[in-house]
Structure 1
């Protein structure tokens, strides 16, 4: 089973994306590659989708 909570890095990247930073700007700020930013953002998206599904299931129960 996959961990549902965002990791600290996923939270960090997600917050920077919400602030409107580009993947290039985030990569520079966090001293990681743009590809790593994309992977972390994708993983965060999947975790958030899982959390939303769990919430929907608990409301329907």
Structure 2
């Protein structure tokens, strides 16, 4: 898994402070359509754009 990023406020049914790990996207990390997997082992995933990452997540 890749580096973890944290949700800074509630978004799309996920609570603030939820940690996500970047998962493989189209052969590598691509900001245009980042796929993130919750780091809590729940197998919940979210797909976000570069704009959403900048607005809602902190590295």
Bigger Rg, structure 1 or 2: 1
Q: Same fold (TM over 0.5)?
A: no
Alignment TM-score, normalising by the size of structure 2: 0.20
Higher strand share: 2
TM-score of the superposition, structure 1-length normalised?
0.20
Answer 1 or 2: which has greater helix percent.
Answer: 1
Structure with larger RCO (C-alpha < 8 A, sep 6+): 1
